[in-house]
Structure 1
Amino acid sequence: MLVDTHLHIIDKSRLRYPWLAEVPALDRDFLYAEYERQALRAGISDAIHMEVDVAPDQIEAEIAFAGEQSRSAGSLIRGCIAACRPEEPGFAALLEKYAADPFVLGFRRLINPLSEGVSDSRIFVENIRRLGGTWLTFDAHVHGHQLPRAIALADAAPEVRFILDHCGVPDIRGGDFSGWQEGIADLARRENVTAKISGIVAYADPDGWTAETLRPYVEHIIESFGWDRVVWGSDWPVCTLGGGLLAWTSATHALLSGCANKEREKLFWRNADRIWKLGLAGAWE
């Protein structure tokens, strides 16, 4: 039983993804049917669709697209994390429109490409604070050297539930462990932040990583955040840059082989079920 909290579906016939031109290996369709075949083989039982940084004028179209994918027969998709632009006045209207939609579980804005100061600007912070008191989460995507941005945002909006994507994107290939390690330990002191252990194979040497390469990063995340504040995700298809979905799920199981069943359950599905109110516990127990 494994909940994938970070699935991207790419359909270039339906939506525009300006950034794909810069990543040739991902510049094609990655459709739900392709994901489902691999996910079922990997033991994934449920998934949350993560926004794919579509053109800004297609944010609502992507929400509708994800909803369509969830309604196909036997779909694993239980909800979506929608794109947003908190640096713009239109965020309030977007939140008002989807706050009562049970399919929309939260929002994400890629922080890593934003210019310095944008994520701590007055309008950005005020808009993120609007999520406080709701059950909606905010995914923060930063690179390892940008962890102070996530810390500042978590401090500025303590009532908001933040999800740190991809272990904070450590530079595994470059070997910069100590700087990332300190930033993670600092961020984990903010109890309104949960860490997502997702797709870090994409940041390792694609030809040379093993489970042991990833171990110090996964163990430090769990040690820092604790078992109640971690969730798991594939980051498919980005994880194909480092071996793919089956390689990542296999590595995850290997890294957790010595852990108690209750601990693995928290990471694999219980925490996600609680955070996003997926209603899975009753069906599985």
Structure 2
Amino acid sequence: MATCPATDEADHLPIIDSHIHLYAASHIPRLNWTADLPSDHVLNRQNSVDEYRTATTRHAKYLKGFVFLETDRKSGLADTEWNDPLNEVDFLIRTARGTPLDGEGHRAEDSNVVLGIVPWAPVPAGREALADYLHQVRQRAGDKWLLIKGFRYLVQDKPAGTMVDPKFIEDLTWLGDHDLTFDLGIDARQGGLHQLEEACEMMDRLYEGRNTLRIIINHLCKPNLRIPAQEVTRHPDFVHWAQCIQRMARHKYTYMKLSGMFSELPMQSSDNPTDVTALLQQTKPWVDRVFEEFGLSRIMFGSDWPVCNVGGPGTAKSWNHWYDLVNTILTSRDCSEEDRAQIWAGSAAKAYNIT
């Protein structure tokens, strides 16, 4: 293993956090996934820019900003079910303009940290509905339209066959034709390994047509990181996942986010966080495969805040602990400063066209 430079030596590199979620306390009833959370759950509270700034204070000097990902508000494919995700667009546009409403958890001076917005979109609804929805997003975004980098339709909880539905692929093609990105969120551990196969088939069909849509894959596809480290490489879940990662990576317009692992790993204690060296060993087979297949120019840092607090060592430590783990990963791979710069910011800037 290469000698690890002190963390402070890495801190001078600019950081783009390519994956965060934001919501005010008043938004919580409109989120799909909060109904079953206990009242004291770490996500059942306001997680807006104020809280994000507190979590990232240690790296504030070099944190250029973030890309916001839709937060799975209540929605549907019919135009009568678009109100909540469109309200989320309004919330982010207010953040980017520095015009908060009372209690939203952001301030006028926060406008410059919004580097990109990836809202929800009704991707399987067909081109006409998708174009209608995007027209409404454009109207709401106004002078901030260029911050709308692409869209996400979370497929990890959708029925089998969603990603290979002709309308889904048709809508992805439409996004690519309009130079917009698509964030792909699947869950190999809880949703099933079939999601990996389906995603591969979707990409094969999409790119057969020479489309240039940039697909940004979230969280390593949420693999089963709880397999004991000594068993990983011969475990069928890993073998299947690795084959699909190779298949996804062969398409040159696909990117991978180095993100989302804390919620897939064993829970950590805020009093006694798991040492990053132990986390490195636990995640190494998975991370190695991603680096081997995607290469540095298509891997980007993302914190998955505030979801990193689920499984991470608490709201005060999780973002920094994730940063330290990524820094340790890059050190273990003997990455040059140029390589590190690519992971911390360069790949995200390229994928999302951030200037």
> Which has more radius of gyration?
2
TM-score (norm 2): 0.74
Q: Deviations over 1:148-191 (max 9, x none)?
A: 12212222222121011001111102454222222211211122
Range moving further from structure 2, 2-11 or 202-211: 202-211
CA deviation map 1:96-155 (0-9, x unaligned): 444682121110011111101122112222111101232210001112222112212222
Give the count of matched residue pairs. 279
Structure 2: unaligned runs, 5 residues or longer = 1-13, 76-82, 99-107, 229-236, 269-273, 313-317
Q: Which amino acid aligns with 2:342?
A: K
Amino acid in structure 2 at the alignment position of 1:254: T
Q: Helix, strand or coil for the counterpart of 2:125?
A: coil
Provide the alpha-carbon RMSD of the alignment: 1.9
Counterpart among 277, 298, 306 of residue 237 in structure 1: 306
1:246 deviates by 1.2
Contact 1:154-1:193 within 8 A present in 2 as well: no
Residue equivalent to 1:7: 20
Other-structure match for 1:177: 238
What displacement does 1:255 show?
A: 1.0
Q: Distance in 2 between matches of 1:210 and 1:122?
A: 40
Partner residue in 1 for 2:159: 115
1:270 aligns with 2:346: yes
User: Which shows bigger deviation, 88-97 or 153-162?
Assistant: 88-97
Q: CA deviation at 1:91?
A: 1.7
SS in 1 for 2:220: helix
Query: Conserved in 1, the CA contact under 8 Å of 2:86 and 2:137?
Result: no
For normalisation by structure 1, the TM-score amounts to 0.91
Residue 284 of structure 2: which of 195, 204, 215 is its match?
Answer: 215
Offset at 1:40?
A: 3.3
User: Is the deviation greater in 242-251 or in 203-212?
Assistant: 203-212
Tell me if the contact between 2:89 and 2:137 (Cα under 8 Å) persists in the aligned partners: no
Q: 2:87 aligns to what?
A: 61
Query: Which residue is equivalent to 1:283?
Result: none
Residue 36 (structure 2) pairs with residue 22 (structure 1): yes
Which residue of structure 2 aligns with residue 128 of structure 1? 172
Higher mean C-alpha deviation, range 159-168 or range 73-82: 73-82
Whether 1:154 aligns to 2:203 is yes
> Whose RCO is larger (CA < 8 A, sep 6+)?
2
Structure 1 portions without partners, runs of 5+: 280-285
Question: Which range is displaced more, 182-191 or 10-19?
Answer: 10-19
CA distance in 2, matches of 1:155, 1:178: 20
CA deviations on 1:65-123 (whole Å, 9 max, x unpaired) are 11222333044221210101212242221234446821211100111111011221122
Partner of 2:297: 228
Moved over 3 A (4+): 96-100
- Deviation, 1:266, is 0.9
The CA distance in 1 between the partners of 2:26 and 2:184, in whole Å, is 28
Q: Which has the higher strand share?
A: 1
